[in-house]
Each structure stands twice: as C-alpha cells, then as structure tokens.
Amino acid sequence: MNNITILCFCFTSFFVTSLAADTISANHTIGDGETIVSSGERFELGFFSPGNSTGRYLGIWYNKISKGKVVWVANRAIPITDKSGVLKFDERGALILVIQNGSVIWSSNTSRHAQNPVAQLLDSGNLVVRNENDRRTENFVWQSFEHPGNTFLPGMKVGRLASGLDVIISSWKSNDDPSQGPYTFEIDGKGLELVVRQNSVLKSRSGPWNGVGFSGLPLLKPDPLLSYAFVFNDKVAYLTYDINSSIALTLVFDQGGVLERLAWIDRLNNWIVYSSAPGDNCDNYALCGAYGRCTIGNSPACGCLNRFVPKNQSEWVRADWSSGCVRRTPLNCQNGDGFIKYYNIKLPDSKIRAMNKSMTTEECRVKCLNNCSCMAYTNSDIRGNGSGCILWFGDLVDIRQYTEDGQDLYIRMASPEIVAHTLEGSPKKKKVGIIVSVVLSAFLLLGLGLCLFLQKKKKHSRHNTLGRTKNKENNTKEQWSMTSQDESLDLPHFDLTAIANATSNFSFNNLLGQGGFGPVYKGAFKGGQDIAVKRLSKESRQGLDQFMNEVKCIAKLQHRNLVKLLGYCIEHEEKILIYEYLPNKSLDIYIFDQIRSKLLDWPKRFHIINGVSRGLLYLHHDSRLRIIHRDLKLSNILLDNDMNPKISDFGMARSFGGNETEANTRRVVGTYGYMSPEYAIDGFFSIKSDVFSFGVLVLETVSGKRNWGFTHPEHELNLLGHVWKLYKEGRSLELIDELNVESCYVPEVLRSIHVGLLCVQHSPEHRPSMSTVVLMLEGNGLLPQPNEPGFFTERKVIEENKKDLSSTNEVTITVLDGR
Ligand SMILES: *[C@@H]1O[C@H](CO)[C@@H](O)[C@H](O)[C@H]1NC(C)=O
Ligand SMILES: *[C@@H]1O[C@H](CO)[C@@H](O)[C@H](O)[C@H]1NC(C)=O
Ligand SMILES: *[C@@H]1O[C@H](CO)[C@@H](O)[C@H](O)[C@H]1NC(C)=O
Ligand SMILES: *[C@@H]1O[C@H](CO)[C@@H](O)[C@H](O)[C@H]1NC(C)=O
Ligand SMILES: *[C@@H]1O[C@H](CO)[C@@H](O)[C@H](O)[C@H]1NC(C)=O
Ligand SMILES: *[C@@H]1O[C@H](CO)[C@@H](O)[C@H](O)[C@H]1NC(C)=O
Ligand SMILES: *[C@@H]1O[C@H](CO)[C@@H](O)[C@H](O)[C@H]1NC(C)=O
Ligand SMILES: *[C@@H]1O[C@H](CO)[C@@H](O)[C@H](O)[C@H]1NC(C)=O
Ligand SMILES: *[C@@H]1O[C@H](CO)[C@@H](O)[C@H](O)[C@H]1NC(C)=O
C-alpha cells in the first residue's frame, strides 16, 4: 500500500492544481488521476490501488501525510481493471462510479434525492452529497460516514442512527483487497456495548457503556487526545469520538479483527499503533465459561470467580474451561440471597440484560433481589456516586479481571456466603476463616452479644472501605442486603399489667410448659390473638442494655420455620418475651404418643423434617447472627394449624444461658439424648452440635422412639446404635414407626435415615452443615457413607470422653479461656 499511496501523493502533487476544489458539482466528473481535496487539506479523494493489487478503487485518504491511510473505499468489492473509472452524478442526483463499458459499479444509492446535487469532501474525511445551497448536516442526502469501511474516523457515528440505519465497521480481506473481510465491529444496541464478530459469530465484547467508557475496553478510556460519547435512547445507540483537530488520530479495524488506535507522529514521519483491542487472549468471548474469570498474567488465564468452583473438575484441569464454574454454595432464593461485590471486572454477558437509566443503586439492588433469576446488578452510569441500573438474568459469562480498570459488579450469592464474606471483612480475617466455629463459640460464651459484634464490625467495614471507590457508602450497604430493616427495631414493648391480665396473672391454669429459661404461659389480649408468654427466670445476671440487644437480635430472626417473637416486656425484675401462640403444641406429644402419632403420617413427618432443617439452616447461615440453638429437640418444635414446624427457644441459649456454670449448662441448655459428644463431654458447642441434635430429631421422628431411654429386647444399644445396626445390615426400613408403614414413601424414609446418621457422626467435621443437609434431604444425589455414630452406646461414651479431652485439649482451653 505504501508504494501506491506515495504514488497517489504524487498524483496529488501533479494534478491538484487543476481541481483545487473540495466539491463535485452536477456536471463535473472525476476521472482516474484526478482528485479533490478537503478545504483544510486534510483529506483527499481519488483513485488508488491498494497494496500489491493492480485493481483501481475510488477512495479517500489522508492528504499531505505520506504513507497516507486510505480511510474509505467506494467500490470495495469491485475493482476497476483499468483507468477508465469516472465519478459523476447521474440524472437522479446520485453519485455514481462508471466504467468504460457504461456499467455503474458503485452508487450513492439513497431513497432521497438532491435537486441541485453537489458532493463535498469535508475536512473530517466525510464525503457528502447534498443540495447545493443546503449545508445542514441533517439534510445531507448521503454521506460516506454512514457507509464506512475499516476506518472509524473522528466524528463518525457507529451504531444505530435515528434513520434506522445500522452503521458497522468491517475489516478488509487483505492489504491488497478492501472488500469486506470476515470481521465486523458493531454496536450491540441492546447490550449497549461494542462487539466484534467473525462471520457473524460473537468474538469479543467491550462490556456496556458506563458513562465514561467500557469496562472491558480500556483502549477507549478518555484521555487528553480524544473524547468519546456513547449516545443511546429508544431510537439510537451509537458511539462517536472527537479529537483535537491539531493531531491526526484514527481508529482502524484491521484484517485480523483488531481495532487499532493510530496516531500520526511527525517526528517519525509515520503512523504508530497506540493501542489495540481486542488486545489479548482474555478478550476472546467467554473464554473461561460461565462465572469463570480471565486474568492476563495468570497461568492459566482462566480461574473461577471467588466463591465459585469448576463445574467439571476433570475438564477444567485439562484447560477445557467451556463448562465454566458454579457457586460453591447454591443459591436459595427463598432463603434470603444477597449480593457480594466483585471489583475491577469487565461486566459480563448473559442471556438477558435489562437497563434502566433512572433507577438508583438501591432500587436496582431491590429489583434484582426480588427476581430469583436476576444474577447480578450494577450501576449503568459510574459517574458521580453512580446511578442507573443494569440487571443480568441467567449465567454470567465473559468476565475478566483487571487490577485497575474494569467496574464493580454485585453478584447474587447464597446467604451463607454472605455471612462468610462479612466475617472475612473483619480484621481477624484468616483466623476467623479457619476456626470460625471456635471463634464464634468463644464469642457466644463470652456472653458478648454477637449482635454487638456484628454491629461493631459493620461500622468497621464501612470505615475500612471508604475511599476505595467513590460510591463506597452505597456499596457497603449492599453487603447487608439480607434484612431490609437492619437498623430499626419495630418490636413492641408491652407493659407488665397487660401481660399479667392476659395470662390471668400468670396463673397455673395458663401454664403451657416449663422451658429452659423459665415458664411459658398461654395468654390472650382482650379481643386479640392468643400469645405465648415466656417469663425469663430472674437469676439472669444480664444488664438491661444487653437484654435489649439480645431481644433485638432475636426479633430480627424471621423465618417461617421459626416461632415469631411478637414483643417483649422489661419492668422491675421481669424480663418477658411474647411469642405467637401455636395451638398444636409441640412435636414430641405426637411422635411419642401411641394415639396422636397417627395424626402424623409419613408425608407430614417428612414435611416437618424438611421444615426444621430449613429453620435451622436459617439460624446457622442465613440469618445475620449465626445462632446456635443448643437445645434442639422434639419438644422445641412447635406445630401450627397446618402442622408446619416452627423451632422455638432459638437464640435463648446464647442470650440467656450465658451465665450458667458448666454443670448448669448441661442441665438447662442441653438435653440428654440430643447432645453431641463434644458438647456433652467438653461443653464445646458449634453449629455442628446442633446438626447432631437435628440428626437425633430426624431419627426419632422416623422411628417414633426416643433416643434417650431407648430399649430394645435384643441389645443394649441406644436408638442411634440401633439405627446404625439396622443400617449396616440393610434393614433400615424396619426402623419405621409401625403405625406409619402405610403412608411411607420408601426412598424418602431411607434418605431421611441416611441423612440422620450422617448428622450424628461422632466427630463434628464428619457431620454435614445444615445447607448440605437441606440439599441432601431435598435432592436425590448420592449420599456419602456414614460411619458409626457418636454416643453409640453408653459405655463407649466414657471411653470417647477421655480420648476427646486429650485430643481436643486446645479447643477446650480456648473456649474455657473465652469464658
Ligand atoms: C454545467 O455546465 C454548464 C456548461 O457546461 C454550465 O452552464 C452550468 O452552469 C453547469 N452547471 C453547474 C451546476 O455547475
Ligand atoms: C507486495 O508484494 C511483495 C512481494 O510479493 C511483498 O514483499 C510485500 O509485502 C507486498 N506488499 C504489500 C503491501 O502487501
Ligand atoms: C462491463 O465490464 C465488466 C467487467 O469489466 C463486466 O462485469 C460487465 O458485465 C460489463 N458490462 C457490460 C454492460 O458489458
Ligand atoms: C441500490 O440499492 C438497492 C437496494 O438498496 C440495491 O439493490 C442496488 O443494487 C443498489 N444499486 C447500486 C448501483 O448499488
Ligand atoms: C489541541 O492541542 C494543542 C497542542 O497540544 C493545544 O495547544 C490546544 O489547546 C488543544 N486544543 C484543544 C481544544 O484541546
Ligand atoms: C466432565 O467432563 C468429562 C469429559 O468431558 C465427562 O466425561 C464427564 O461426564 C463430565 N462430568 C460431569 C460431572 O459432568
Ligand atoms: C425505570 O425506573 C424508574 C424508577 O424506578 C421507573 O419509574 C420506571 O418505570 C422504570 N422504567 C422502565 C422502563 O422500567
Ligand atoms: C424476572 O425477570 C425476568 C427477566 O426480565 C422475567 O422474565 C421474569 O418474569 C421475572 N420474574 C419475576 C418473578 O418477576
Ligand atoms: C455523593 O454522595 C455523597 C455522600 O452521600 C454526597 O455528599 C455527594 O453530594 C454525592 N455526589 C454526587 C455527585 O451526587
């Protein structure tokens, strides 16, 4: 091309005198060898031959700059084989390129026609056809800027224009052949982003416009030399840019489908490539699959986003990333998903994207949160504090990680991940991550409300992150998106007189039972609903502030499988909690009763097991507080009118049992038969001790037998030992409460027993977490094999006891120190 361009330059030198105009009027013609030059002498139009080609083409190139770049070609696909080409107007006012035998090989073919047409080469490089006396841009009948080749000149608009025309840039086939190559550079008007396609297949994308640039196209970051604008509304979506006219700078889409930013450097007397895009391997569309992220400089470049794992490990290790990654904790939309912020990434692609320019960040978050298929959101405009909203529906693909560029994205996460993420934000980052349950337990034992802890930490993280980006303040809130009323407590305070009246002065006739922390009474306000009144024992050494904090914490725990706290009362020595009243009482009075157990057929029992598992999952992972129940048992599972289970007494152990001595703890807080070995023996509890109790609850519910006090004519084993024995012998079905045999659905029964056994494993780390339990119960995947349960027989306990104390000495001491 260089030779030829210089040739053209020579032509220009020789012939420009004869046509010192920038305009072609109706009865002018331009033949091969003649040119016109724009008024500022920046661009020139004429015939040329590209590269080593001998074909002749009509085109526009930079004037005066030797090695001039051809920026536009008329007859791209049809070279003229001789020098007979002539550019002129036809009788309809269209510009045509005619060859010797009279064939029109190119035309400025438009529906509109000019009365007195002239063609003018503007100093921007735009060849326009217009009416002679009308210079208004909007009235141009035709312009080369709307029919570009491989060059995106300053001032050009690429994308969807108001006329409905889609302007796209397309590569040349080769240096010798300007006809359309396989690559196109387009605006995706729906996604509001730039895309590169090869033979119509998406190869690379920029990420959506964010008011300043494109998260995946640092090439187009604003700089002193040029300013970009991305204009979009209902009708148009186009990109344009401007430069300081004292420089020569342009964008060229080369044969390989790469957009190059070229600048003319006088000193070098040549064009240099400033930067180009797609620039590297990570710009290849969806290289790392769904939720994979591409990081240049990493080897391999593909990895999973944090909190994601390869979907197919065996493919992944063989560098086949196409299956991508999945969340390590599956989403559970009904159970309070939230969002975690990912920094400096190229915003992803997905099946559906929606945008609303006028939404606030908070509206955006809520909108996404409320639609279970919404996987991510972020601001559509990052200027100022950020505004507008983009929502992603479906798997996120084509993510890359930058260290500085890119944008922040909020990705939907299951609530356990959000809890974990929140804890990671604490200054004791690693420690918490590794021994989270120990630390948490220590907190619990310290009697220091975790609530307080979290509130402090929240302040801390807010403080910590200020200044990283401008819209940090908003963002910190996002991490706390699980409960909508974080800060306010709408829990009513009742006065003592009213409660005394409602319970006939705490009369014996109203007594429902004796809970772990005091008696529970049935009550009813005048004309109002029934209530359950829990009168806390007076020995609690808690101060009022602490009590209030704890009440607030419990008040925030809301789940359909938890008994609802309706109000509280503090007066004189009294501390009272008011709960919803559940007429059907507790699960134990059904399961362990010959007659009433008939009311609970298998489907109801399975429903109850599932409900309890979800309630417990919420306490452990989904609520902000991570509550360990410590006294899960059948009598603490209450049943509503529809026999839906509701866990009661949650949060009580933590809140009101903190001052017990170890012996008291055993007596009051735990219940024999439900306590895990490490809790019963060492007083050490964690969420896994609750899992143990849950396992016992499941096995009792299936069998209709109590674990504590279980007897069997054939052996001395407790219920757990008995279940284990049957399981090993493949006789699990014999466990079924004989009263319920008819309603049994065998796969569910076997699965429940299996999960029950996994929950009562001796060592806490062999027990599944509640999130796994929920999945196991509801799914139909293969379950791991259980080993012999803890508390297999009574004799065994004593032996385990000794061993345990020595092996977990450190943990025990940590916890005791905590007290
Ligand atoms: C076209 O050429 C004729 C003479 O050849 C001239 O009289 C006429 O003014 C020209 N028209 C225009 C629009 O320049
Ligand atoms: C023209 O052809 C020569 C010899 O085949 C080659 O070396 C050169 O690179 C070609 N020039 C262009 C611009 O393709
Ligand atoms: C004119 O010549 C071109 C090739 O140079 C040929 O394709 C076209 O058919 C010819 N047209 C006429 C009308 O002869
Ligand atoms: C003019 O446009 C029509 C339809 O857009 C097309 O079919 C025709 O080939 C074009 N003519 C020329 C000379 O390019
Ligand atoms: C254009 O660049 C020149 C030289 O760098 C500078 O003096 C001038 O202020 C710039 N003009 C604009 C409008 O930025
Ligand atoms: C993982 O990929 C391999 C090879 O493509 C396939 O054989 C295997 O079934 C896949 N595993 C899963 C769990 O999808
Ligand atoms: C965009 O959001 C605003 C504010 O929430 C709302 O009023 C408007 O209806 C939304 N527009 C569309 C098209 O959804
Ligand atoms: C969630 O969003 C998708 C995509 O916009 C929509 O098709 C679906 O109806 C929405 N679902 C709900 C429950 O609003
Ligand atoms: C950004 O947010 C801060 C704090 O909320 C506020 O003071 C400031 O005015 C906001 N800036 C803009 C441009 O909205």
Return phi, psi of residue 106, to 5°.
-155, 150
pLDDT at 39: 92
Closest residue CA from atom 2 of ligand 6: 315
Give which of 403, 397, 467 is closest to 218, Cα–Cα: 403
pLDDT at 207: 93
Query: Which two tokens mark 666?
Result: 């055993």
Strands 249-253 and 237-243: unpaired
Burial of 236 (0-12, 13-18, 19+ CB in 10 A): middle
When mean pLDDT is compared across 124-128, 447-451, 693-697, the lowest value belongs to 447-451
The model's pLDDT over 471-489, given as tens digits with 9 standing for 90+, comes to 333 332 222 222 223 354 5
DSSP string over 164-189: S-EE-EEEEEETTEEEEEEEEEEEET
Residue to substitute in 234, 358, 364 for testing ligand 7 pocket (most ligand atoms within 8 angstroms of CB): 358
**Mean predicted confidence (pLDDT) in 655-661:** 39
Cα of 372 from ligand 8 centre, angstroms: 8
Give which of 687, 686, 677 is closest to 720, Cα–Cα: 677
pLDDT at 507: 86
pLDDT of 337 above 60: yes
Residue to substitute in 109, 110, 113 for testing ligand 4 pocket (most ligand atoms within 8 angstroms of CB): 109
Give the count of beta carbons closer than 10 Å to the beta carbon of residue 237. Answer: 23
Give which of 253, 275, 250 is closest to 263, Cα–Cα: 250
Cα of 385 from ligand 9 centre, angstroms: 6
Instruction: For residue 545, name the pLDDT band (cuts at 50, 70, 90).
Output: low
Which tops the pLDDT comparison, 545 or 612? 612
Which ligand has the shortest distance to the CA of 117?
1
- List the catalytic residue out of 188, 631, 690, 804: 631
Cα of 355 from ligand 7 centre, angstroms: 9
Angle between helices 436-446 and 450-465 (to 10 degrees): 120
pLDDT of 3 above 70: no
Closest residue CA from atom 1 of ligand 6: 312
Closest residue CA from atom 9 of ligand 3: 103
pLDDT at 30: 94
Query: Which two tokens mark 219?
Result: 């090439």
Those residues with Cβ within 8 angstroms of residue 93's Cβ, 6 or more apart along the chain or in another chain: 26, 113, 114, 115, 117, 129, 141
Closest residue CA from atom 4 of ligand 8: 393
pLDDT at 795: 38
The model's pLDDT over 731-770, given as tens digits with 9 standing for 90+, comes to 888 888 776 777 888 888 889 999 999 999 998 889 999 9
Q: State the amino acid at position 75 in one-letter form.
A: N
| C-alpha to C-alpha distance for 269 and 67, rounded to whole angstroms | 9
Those residues with Cβ within 8 angstroms of residue 597's Cβ, 6 or more apart along the chain or in another chain: 590, 591, 704, 737, 739, 740
Beta bridge partners of 127: 121
Question: DSSP letter at 282?
Answer: G
Give which of 808, 816, 814 is closest to 765, Cα–Cα: 808
Which ligand has the shortest distance to the CA of 311?
6
Which tops the pLDDT comparison, 522 or 780? 522
Are 568 and 551 in contact by the 8 Å Cβ rule? The answer is yes
Q: N- to C-terminal Cα distance for the chain? A: 83
pLDDT of 806 above 60: no
The model's pLDDT over 368-424, given as tens digits with 9 standing for 90+, comes to 999 999 999 999 999 999 999 999 999 999 999 988 778 999 999 998 888 777 766
DSSP string over 224-257: TTEEEEEEESSS-EEEEEEE-TTS-EEEEE-TTS
Cα of 27 from ligand 1 centre, angstroms: 6
278 upstream amide cis, omega within 30 of 0: yes
242 catalytic, yes or no?
no
Strands 36-37 and 43-48: antiparallel
pLDDT at 273: 79
pLDDT of 311 above 60: yes
Give residues (CB < 6 A) around ligand 2: 1, 51-52, 175-176
The total number of residues shown for the chain amounts to 819
pLDDT at 15: 37
| C-alpha to C-alpha distance for 812 and 819, rounded to whole angstroms | 11
Cα of 97 from ligand 1 centre, angstroms: 20
Query: Which two tokens mark 552?
Result: 């607030």
Cα of 398 from ligand 8 centre, angstroms: 22
pLDDT of 137 above 80: yes
pLDDT of 19 above 70: no
Instruction: For residue 110, name the pLDDT band (cuts at 50, 70, 90).
Output: confident
Token pair 């420009």: residue: 16
Give residues (CB < 6 A) around ligand 9: 384-385, 473
Which ligand has the shortest distance to the CA of 387?
9
115 in contact with ligand 5, CB cutoff 6 A = no
Which tops the pLDDT comparison, 798 or 685? 685
Give residues (CB < 6 A) around ligand 1: 25-27
Return phi, psi of residue 214, to 5°.
-120, 130
Q: Alpha-carbon torsion 501, 505, 509, 512, what sign?
A: positive
